[in-house]
Amino acid sequence: MNYTEEEGKTVEEAIKKSLDKLGISFDEAYIEVLNDGKNEQSARVGVGYKNADGMIRNVVETVLSKMDIRASIDIRDEDGIYIVNVRAKKYNGLLIGKDGGTLLAFQHILRRILQRKLPEVKIDMDIGNYRAKRYNKLVRLSRELSGKVKETGKEVKFEPLRAYERWIVHTTLNDDPDVFTYTTGNGEFRTIVVAPRKKKIA
Amino acid sequence: MKDLIIYIAKALVDRPDDVDVKELHGEKTVIYELKVGQGDLGKVIGREGKTAKAIRTIVTAASMKTGKRAHLEIVE
């Protein structure tokens, strides 16, 4: 357990109770006073590990255990963004969902929950390196398609892409002087077109 | 499944003690009715319904393991 909420007659008492329960020191703890106990109610505090790492792990572990899924969870800090990678063997596919839909839903919930405790925290979630592989694939595909556009002088359209996938394609081809990209289509059909900057003169 | 919905809902709202989930068992489907405290509806629904949609997606994924379709309704 990495987070607990306790009550006491005073805030100090509630904090001490929480720290004892978690087995951590005051310096190691993230403390939030939920009720200062001054309006004739008991004081209530939320206490957890100060490092976001422990809190993120706790939420991911709890959600997965309630889904009856055993997984290994790897969290690393990459330039201030917590990259959470979950490996659940045969359940990777279930957790990723169609076109990564379940993965994005999980990430959304994880971010919402953590932002209540740590407003500044930034989290990216991955399952079985799905997003990392997808990223590499889209970068490769972007270069391939831009090559084709340069060769033929004709526009090429991607398969439907999610917002963050469109961003990957845009940024990959941003520096290319010979092509430009634009977005087209609505809703789930929204995608990117790679177009030549100069029309080839036949 | 009920525990999963309760955990996620409690973690999102200001009044976790007011969170309640009722189960209605059908033949092939289970309906989960999530009830949240006053003023907390927006917390579980989110901007443009994004959070509600995310909870439903997770519930659907979890129901693939149980083999019974799950349907989530949210009320205040």
Domain holding B25, by residue range, is: 2-75
Q: What is the pLDDT of residue A201?
A: 57
Whether A123 is in a domain gets the answer yes
A95 part of contact set with chain B, CB < 8 Å: yes
Q: Are residues A122 and A138 located together in one domain of the fold?
A: no
Nearest chain A alpha carbon to B43: A112
Q: Are residues A124 and A136 located together in one domain of the fold?
A: no
Q: Which residues of A touch B65 (CB under 8 A)?
A: 67-69, 91, 94
In the block, which residue shows the tokens 């990564």?
A: A100
Please determine, for residue A136, whether its predicted confidence score (pLDDT) is greater than 70: yes
pLDDT band at A168 (very low <50, low <70, confident <90, very high): very high
pLDDT band at B65 (very low <50, low <70, confident <90, very high): confident
Q: How many structural domains comprise chain A?
A: 3
Between strands A81-87 and A123-127, the pairing is parallel
CB contact under 8 A, A66 and B3: yes
Reported ipTM exceeds the 0.85 cut: yes
For residue A73, the cross-strand partners are A86
Residue that terminates a domain, selected from A80, A101, A128: A128
Q: Are residues A191 and A138 located together in one domain of the fold?
A: yes
Q: How many structural domains comprise chain B?
A: 1
Q: Which residues of B touch A106 (CB under 8 A)?
A: 54, 58
B61 closest CB neighbour out of A62, A102, A108 = A102
CB contact under 8 A, A62 and B7: yes
- Residue B27 belongs to domain with CATH number: 3.30.300.20
Please determine, for residue A154, whether its predicted confidence score (pLDDT) is greater than 70: yes
For residue A78, the cross-strand partners are A81
Whether A59 is in a domain gets the answer no
Rounded CA separation A138/A11 (Å): 52
B2 part of contact set with chain A, CB < 8 Å: no
Residues B25-58 pLDDT 10s: 988 899 999 999 999 999 999 999 999 999 999 9
A105 closest CB neighbour out of B4, B58, B64 = B58
Please determine, for residue A93, whether its predicted confidence score (pLDDT) is greater than 80: yes
- Residue A94 belongs to domain with CATH number: 3.30.300.20
Residue of B1, B2, B4 to mutate, testing the A interface (most A Cβ within 10 Å of its Cβ): B4
Structure-token pair, residue A160: 């439907």
For residue A7, the cross-strand partners are A44
Taking CA atoms, B50 is separated from A43, A182, B44, in Å, by 34, 26, 9
B11 part of contact set with chain A, CB < 8 Å: yes
CB contact under 8 A, B54 and A68: no
Please determine, for residue A70, whether its predicted confidence score (pLDDT) is greater than 80: yes
Domain holding A159, by residue range, is: 132-196
Local structure of A87: helix, strand or coil: strand
For A100-103, the CB contacts below 8 A with 24+ separation are: A100/A130, A100/A131, A100/A134, A100/A162, A101/B57, A102/B57, A102/B58, A102/B60, A102/B61, A103/A127, A103/A130, A103/A131
| C-beta of residue A148 within 8 angstroms of C-beta of residue A156 | yes
Structure-token pair, residue A71: 């997984």
Strand order in the sheet with A29-35: A3-8, A43-49, A29-35
pTM equals: 0.77
Whether A201 is in a domain gets the answer no
Q: Round the average pLDDT of chain A to a whole number and report it.
A: 91
